[in-house]
Amino acid sequence: MTGQEVQQPLEAARESVAAIQRALTAIARRGRARSRAHAPQLSLVDQSLLDYLHDHPDSRAADIAAHYLLDKSTVSRQLAGLVNAGLVQATDLVDARGKALRLTPSGESVIAESMAAQREALQARLRGWTGEEVRAFARALERFNAD
């Protein structure tokens, strides 16, 4: 498929693309509000770093920076705050890319509470959807969010 073939359907679907943008913005705002309610001490960036380390234990600041397309020094500063808060710790694994990091038990607890609250809210929003609708939505989001 050429860029021209992809461009034409998107041009025809301009209103749908705008609706998707509005919906994604609303989803992000609700998610941030729920996260603040369960862990008000954490910023959106803090929450994102904890989420990443939950899913990828023994990652390094460079790994996280590459994943989120951020500067490593920015990620390192944020991680230092999480280490000081007792939510993240360095492990004994060290290589040329730096120290490996993982969540502390307190970090695991914070992220588990946040994830449970997010999942509960999502299940409430999907109440009334059929199993096939939920599966189709999941497939579409995975495709949309694929690297």
Buried b (16+ CB within 10 A) or exposed e, 88-126: bbeeeeeeeebebbbbeeebbebbeebeebbeeeeeeee
- Decide: 47 and 35 in contact? Cβ < 8 Å: yes
Domain count along the chain: 1
Residues of the domain holding 105: 3-145
Which CATH number covers residue 61?
Answer: 1.10.10.10
Report the residue count for the chain: 147
| Angstrom distance (rounded) from CA 63 to CA 79 | 12
Tens of pLDDT, residue by residue over 10-41, are: 666 888 888 889 998 888 888 777 777 777 77
Please give the model's pTM, rounded to 2 decimal places. Answer: 0.74
Tens of pLDDT, residue by residue over 42-66, are: 888 898 899 999 999 999 999 999 9
pLDDT at 28: 82
Tens of pLDDT, residue by residue over 129-144, are: 999 999 999 999 999 9
